[in-house]
Amino acid sequence: MLTATLRRPEDFGLLDRTVYPAVPLHVEYSLTALGKSAAVPLNLLRTWAEENIDSAGLARAPQV
């Protein structure tokens, strides 16, 4: 499941995936320079969400 989740960011060049042949298989993920550069806009988005959680309706429980 983790591999499937991380495949898209890897495809976009945000993550590097290194596989080490071992038993059990060992895989490491790391941010690329492009992935690291995404931290600034993502932090801005997080700050906006935190500041606007009430007015944006983000705090409401989902309707069933």
SS3 9: helix
In DSSP notation, 10-64 reads HHTTSEEEEEE--SS-EEEEEE-HHHHHTHHHHHHHHHHHHHTTTTTTTTSPPP-
Question: What count of Cα atoms within 13 Å lies in the side-chain half-sphere of residue 50?
Answer: 6
Q: 41-53: per-residue pLDDT in tens?
A: 999 999 998 898 8
Kindly report the pTM of this predicted structure: 0.64
Structural domains in the chain, sorted by start? 2-51 (1.10.10.10)
Q: 8-48: per-residue pLDDT in tens?
A: 999 999 999 999 999 998 999 999 999 999 999 999 999 99
> 59: which residues sit within 8 A by CB, 6+ positions away?
53
